[in-house]
Structure 1
């Protein structure tokens, strides 16, 4: 199970790039509602979330029961101006962080997968649970990208 999670984690960038291949700038910046994110903003969010995820996983591996802080992703998107950030730089950063973390994860053995951090909202999380969360995080946002694309197509047909 862990080996499959690691492989899926390693394919994250490729999966995201495939989902946005050939999208126009208009499609990338389209928002389906006032409090909805554009695909562009989703991409920037993935890089920021990966920064947090790598930090959390490394802390769990290196420290005993570290505290893992939460963050307000909507506040980050608004306050950090996700719509004005460079999506390509964000994709590159996302990919580099995954490339950097992949060999670390591939060397984890046995009981170290059960090393734990204490998330201030979710409570205790093991390394394998964190890895699973960050694999699922990309999958969830790929589904969100598909919904935004569908809303864009529906809006342009009218």
Structure 2
């Protein structure tokens, strides 16, 4: 399937409500559980998504589309949420994520992106040259991956309780 900006925006727009509907009003045992050492809880994932809204997707798109010759991206701190979100409630994080995503979708739509624009390049600190199309496609897949991660972590809360049905529940057999 080829990248489609309209369809991508549809998915990106839905992510905050999908995550909010999964997590709001759940007890902390569901939102703060993780898969073990050095893994993230659903709460941590929401904080990570907020950090991405502030420092990754749109800022990098603007670097690619900007007039500066320097197209190097600032490295992304994948663990910033562990310090930035720790004193906040999930309700606060979900509201901030929705607000930031709405703003970023509006910024994205204002860019009037066409096929030629999608081929413009920036410099990723690890990968080197990347296109705007790759960045935007990654944003969509990143969202979907974290939705998957949240549901996988939540499912593992009942890993023992499902008993022999574990055999048929792949979500419980997935590795971190």
TM (norm. structure 1) is 0.84
Looking at secondary structure, tell me which structure has more helix per residue. Answer: 1
**Which residue of structure 1 lines up, in the alignment, with residue 61 of structure 2?**
57
Q: Between the two structures, name the one with larger relative contact order (CA 8 Å, sep ≥ 6).
A: 1
Q: Quick one: structure 1 residues 139 and 94, their matched pair in 2 at CA, closer, same or farther if it must change by over 3 Å?
A: same
Specify every segment of 5 or more residues in structure 2 that has no aligned partner in the other structure, as ranges: 164-176
Aligned-residue Cα RMSD (Å) equals 2.3
| Residue 18 of structure 1, CA deviation | 2.5
Q: Give 1:22 deviation, angstroms.
A: 4.5
Deviations 1:16-37 (A, max 9, x none): 1133244222211112212211
CA distance in structure 1 between the partners assigned to 2:70 and 2:7 by the alignment: 25
Which secondary structure state, in structure 2, belongs to the residue aligned with residue 11 of structure 1? helix
Instruction: Give the aligned partner of residue 49 of structure 2.
Output: 46
Higher mean alpha-carbon deviation, 136-145 vs 85-94, is at 85-94
Query: Which stretches of structure 1, 4 residues or more, deviate above 6 A after TM superposition?
Result: none
Aligned pairs, how many?
A: 156
Q: CA deviation at 1:4?
A: 0.8
Residue 114 of structure 1 contacts residue 128 of structure 1 at CA under 8 Å; is this kept in 2? Answer: yes
Bigger Rg, structure 1 or 2: 2
Which residue is 1:94 aligned to?
A: 97
Q: State the TM-score, normalizing by the size of structure 2.
A: 0.76
> Structure 1: where are the runs of 5+ without partners?
none
